[in-house]
Amino acid sequence: MFVNKEFSLFGTAVGLLVVLAAGGVRAEEAASAWAQTDQSEVRLVAAATATGAAKTVRLGLQFRLAPGWKTYWRSPGDAGFPPRVDWTGSRNLARADMRWPAPVRFELFGYETFGYGGEVVLPIEAQLSRPGEALALAAKVDYLVCEKICIPYTAELALELPAGPAAPSAHAHLIDRFNARVPSDGAGLAIEQAAWTGGAAPAIRVVARAMTPFAAPDVIVEGPAGWSFGRATSTFADGGTRAVLRLPARGEGAAGAEPVGAAVVLTLIDGERATERRLILERGGAGDASALRELSAILFVALLGGLILNLMPCVLPVLSIKLLAVARHGGATRTRIRRNFLASAAGVVAAFLVLAGALAALKAGGVAVGWGIQFQQPAFLVFMALLLTLFAANLWGWFDIRLPARLADAALRDRPTSPEHEGLAGAFATGAFATLLATPCSAPFLGSAVGFALARGSVEIFAVFAALGTGMALPYLVVGAWPGLVSRLPRPGRWMAQFKAALGIVLAGTALWLLSVLATQSGAWGASIVGALLAAALFILWIGRHAVARSAWRPLAIAALALVAFVAPGRFAPEPSAAVPPAAVWQPFDQNEIAAMVRAGRVVLVDVTADWCLTCQVNKAVVLSRGAVAERLADGRVAARRADWTRPDEGIARYLAGFGRYGIPFNVVYGPAAPDGIALPELLTTEAVLAALDRAGPARSTAAAQ
């Protein structure tokens, strides 16, 4: 560190002399008084004028620094220390989580440090112990400012936010501006690979992608111990959207060994956009051939994941559609069977490509993305429930879709000579619909493939999702290749009508399940109203099932009911604070407490779940809530934490992305022997969970830590 003893002692003395205590809210609304020194000013600001009814309040720790002076980022580099806040003495504060905008690299006398100059706001999310009540903050801030010398300071800040309706404060835009500079997955940047190159000039080689061409990219490396890294030099390809960055390394490591296999956190910064990724350092030298081999391996993994997706619990409702597709082709010609099953396969792949396009667009727009996130949207749930209801009524024979007279006559004329052309559009739609129903599910291999794709650019997203779609479509493709597998089935008859009625009941049950998910997001009233509207639509179809009763008023009435159904959830959505707390054994997930519990010797099991994830419910019913695992959790030896992703939650999305995962179910075990976590398979078994708990290291503490 370049701070000598004389300056350090002098700085400490000066810091103690300039400690300031602000006595409450300043005359300026939603801000503490400034704590001022010759080199800096610091204060607390709030994004709202009162606490309102929310569980959290957005704050900011605002620094203003004299020209030439700087303070430090969370990982300061070769010298310095980051701002630290002690909230002791605050009232109605459960916890405060600080976020770190992308820093600037500073170089002085050969040392590399990272921090901020001029003005910076560190965004803070404060969770209230008692939502709706006033919040009184007492913050003791230790921070370091440096120019050619470094001076540590301590500032004591106080800020009170009253209870009552919350309105945006004058500082809301300032906090948002710096929050937008926090590294995120939606910045249009992706870190593809990091490799160690040894020899006389050791370095880390980083391959990165950008949605738009790079300007002046840089990478900050956190870890491994004993190494530091200089400013990156860059070469560009693909019109400037692909960059290879080389960061020279200094040091000999903690044990004098090369850091191949070590975990690092890389922060990629390019102007105002930044992203970060945790990965393992590979051995360098493979270059583009290594990346191509990696992509090829991932595409094979995606193919397997898509195939296995056909067997997952989430896909059980889809099974009825597949069975119907098989049964209705009994006695058909081989040509017709081949064309229809290939059309269904095309529908599956097309639906995956549409999902890929939507996810790529959302990611480019800065939205946290993941597998199955459409089930977090009430409008999508209503749409799927309506579609399933109409599909069930169609199977029950309550309505059919009639073509215009000329098209119907043409179809009848063509039927004797070219039956193989019948129903291709319907077969295609069946495949696409089956894909939509399957997307809340994760499967072995699928999570790894989706994680790889969403951590990279649009090309990888489309390639991986095309492989996933091909894998899920493989059963259709097999039948298309060997149509004799179904052509020997009996021709449709009375048994077919009974079979379709049974499948209609399955689809109606799936619609009810979607309504139960909707109830979690939009409240019981909203889901009940949507259910009543769907029941009314079924009644209209039932009373008009005879040809004499058919008229134009039925589709108009159903369209009106559908319109009201789409509006209802938004009118009855509960406040976020109205969520039902989890059972006693399972406590709410808080990523910030995990490290402290592990340091205290505890083992932690995290379950990331959602009401719309059927595989998650199977894992709970079969493994987590029964038998040896439930007993292990109940006796307090393991801290059980549940992250509910039923609704959109950017924090949970970032947590999943930290493991390279973008879908659920996801379970991970932490402990003294596994501080970085042991990820479990998508389909849990009692043996796998217990083995991970044992590997992580049994806790010696009691349930009091719960």
The H-or-E segment that residue 10 falls in is helix 5-17
Domain count, the chain: 4
Average pLDDT of the segment spanning 153-159? 96
Rounded to two decimals, what is the model's pTM?
0.44
Strands (E), 180-254: 189-197, 203-210, 218-222, 227-229, 233-237, 242-251
* Of 118, 152, 179, the domain-final residue: 179
Statement to judge: residues 452 and 367 lie in one domain: yes
Please give the Cα distance from 188 to 608 (Å, whole number). Answer: 26
601 with 672: CB under 8 angstroms? Answer: yes
258: Cβ contacts below 8 Å, ≥ 6 apart: 196, 198, 202
Instruction: With cut-offs at 50, 70 and 90, classify the pLDDT of residue 444.
Output: low
Statement to judge: residues 474 and 607 lie in one domain: no
Statement to judge: residues 342 and 259 lie in one domain: no
The answer as to whether 576 is a domain residue is no
For the segment 336-361, what is each residue's pLDDT rounded down to a tens digit? 777 878 888 898 899 889 888 887 77
Helix (H, G, I), strand (E, B) or coil at 339: helix
The answer as to whether 431 is a domain residue is yes
User: Which pLDDT score is estimated for 646?
Assistant: 80
* Of 157, 179, 201, the domain-final residue: 179
Of residues 247, 60, 96, the one with CA closest to residue 593: 96
Higher pLDDT residue, 674 or 159?
A: 159
Burial class from Cβ neighbours inside 10 Å (0-12, 13-18, 19+) for residue 321 reads: buried
Report the alpha-carbon angle 25-27-30, nearest 5. Answer: 50
The answer as to whether 580 is a domain residue is no
For the segment 391-438, what is each residue's pLDDT rounded down to a tens digit? 778 778 776 554 344 433 433 343 433 334 446 777 787 778 777 766
Statement to judge: residues 325 and 449 lie in one domain: yes
pLDDT of 30 > 60? The answer is yes
User: Which pLDDT score is estimated for 9?
Assistant: 37
Q: In what order do the strands lie in the sheet with 93-98?
A: 35-36, 40-46, 56-65, 119-128, 93-98
Please give the Cα distance from 40 to 402 (Å, whole number). Answer: 75
17 with 35: CB under 8 angstroms? Answer: no
Statement to judge: residues 559 and 673 lie in one domain: no
Q: Which domain holds residue 156?
A: 5-179
Instruction: With cut-offs at 50, 70 and 90, classify the pLDDT of residue 580.
Output: very low
The answer as to whether 577 is a domain residue is no
For residue 647, give the CATH number of its domain: 3.40.30.10
Average pLDDT of the segment spanning 24-45? 83
Statement to judge: residues 618 and 666 lie in one domain: yes
Please give the Cα distance from 208 to 210 (Å, whole number). Answer: 7
Average predicted confidence (pLDDT) for the chain: 77
658: Cβ contacts below 8 Å, ≥ 6 apart: 278
Write out the DSSP string of 482-513.
-THHHHTSPPSSHHHHHHHHHHHHHHHHHHHH
The answer as to whether 280 is a domain residue is yes
Please give the Cα distance from 156 to 139 (Å, whole number). Answer: 6
Statement to judge: residues 34 and 146 lie in one domain: yes
Average pLDDT of the segment spanning 85-99? 94
Statement to judge: residues 39 and 129 lie in one domain: yes
For residue 95, give the CATH number of its domain: 2.60.40.1250
The answer as to whether 649 is a domain residue is yes
Statement to judge: residues 195 and 315 lie in one domain: no
Statement to judge: residues 280 and 298 lie in one domain: no
Statement to judge: residues 171 and 194 lie in one domain: no
Please give the Cα distance from 628 to 633 (Å, whole number). Answer: 9
Statement to judge: residues 404 and 497 lie in one domain: yes
Q: Position 325: which residue type?
A: A
The answer as to whether 578 is a domain residue is no
The answer as to whether 523 is a domain residue is yes
* Of 231, 256, 285, the domain-final residue: 285
